[in-house]
Amino acid sequence: PAGRGSYSDALHQSFLAKPVRHWLDRLLVARQWDPALAAHRGELSSESDSNSDSNSDSGSADDADQRRFIDAFRQRHPDRRDAYTCWCSRTGARQTNYGNRIDYVLVSHSLADQLLDCDIQPEVSGSDHCPVLAVLSDGYPLSAPPDQPLPSLAAARLPEFAARQRRISDFLAPWRGAQQAPMPPAKQEPPPASLKKRKQPQQQPQPAAKRRQASLSSFFAKPTPTPEVAAPAADSSVEKAAAESDSNGSVSASSASSTAASSSQQWRQLLTGPEKPPLCRGHGEACLLRTVKKDGPNRGRRFWVCPRPEGSAKNAEARCDTFLWVAKR
Ligand SMILES: [Zn+2]
């Protein structure tokens, strides 16, 4: 339903103008293209035909679609709104469901025929992403025919994935019903012998490390014993010097205990504790203190923001626009 007119605002146009926003549409069948992105690309290709997708596709639009994938979730749920799989954990955006759908099950046309269901599982927590689930029909072969060689870029050929993600079928498991979330079967498989060897040196140092850091006190060095010169010395002048230093020590110690109360008062005057937060405009709630992490002239500056989780601009329960710099001292 999105016509060109509804995407007129400059921010949206600059969003659409970035080629990186269009990567998914290149993979997907044309009927699943984002209408705003497709409209924008239409405008672009009329300006310069060399950028047009149709140039690289020698055949008809249908032929091009045959080489593209199908977004399994959108195939099953064409009209589902606010279906997100990733939320910014720093701003608590999951609480207001202000997220992105960036985890996909992309299937070929033949696999799409075997697709019984595909859904996201936003109710499953434990990550800033949620699981994405596809259910295939029973008869689908879980492994490729043995005579079919692996593609050169297959994950199974990469040493980083030696013990996991070896085959797409490692992600698949028999369906046990909606109640039970399927476990990734890759974890149940024992790692290959080559990886076991690599893991062993990592496991062995652990007990030693535990012994070393058994308690907090183990981080503190014992005081070096007093120089032996003083104790066995027969010379009375040395003994006298040692006695003086002893008495000096005890005097300073006792004075420290007698002034402990006033000292803590002095510290309290010096360290007033955290600044009292201002209240946000939208909700009248105590603001949160943040620090600019981005490189630039404001890096390291602190500011106050609304304590609520981030959400869409229309959501009154989500973070309001309160933003206050902390004055430089
Ligand atoms: Zn607020």
Give residue-wise pLDDT tens across range 75-126: 999 999 999 999 999 888 999 999 999 999 999 888 899 999 999 999 999 9
Find the 302 Cα to ligand 1 centroid distance in Å: 18
Burial 15-38 (b: 16+ CB within 10 A, else e): ebeeeeebebbeebbeebbbebbb
Find the 326 Cα to ligand 1 centroid distance in Å: 17
Pick from 133, 140, 135: nearest CA to 110: 140
Give the pLDDT of residue 74.
94
Chain Cα centroid distance, residue 175:
29
Give residue-wise pLDDT tens across range 246-282: 444 444 444 555 567 778 888 877 777 777 899 999 9
**Token digits for 187?**
């974890």
Find the 317 Cα to ligand 1 centroid distance in Å: 8
Find the 89 Cα to ligand 1 centroid distance in Å: 18
Residue with tokens 């997907």: 28
Find the 313 Cα to ligand 1 centroid distance in Å: 12
Find the 292 Cα to ligand 1 centroid distance in Å: 19
Angle at 248 between CA 242 and CA 251, to 5 degrees: 145
Separation CA 36–CA 12 (nearest Å): 9
- 128 assigned ligand-binding residue: yes
The mean pLDDT of the chain is 74
Give the pLDDT of residue 60.
75
Q: Which amino acid is at 26?
A: R
Find the 150 Cα to ligand 1 centroid distance in Å: 54
Give the pLDDT of residue 305.
94
Separation CA 320–CA 329 (nearest Å): 27
Give the pLDDT of residue 174.
79
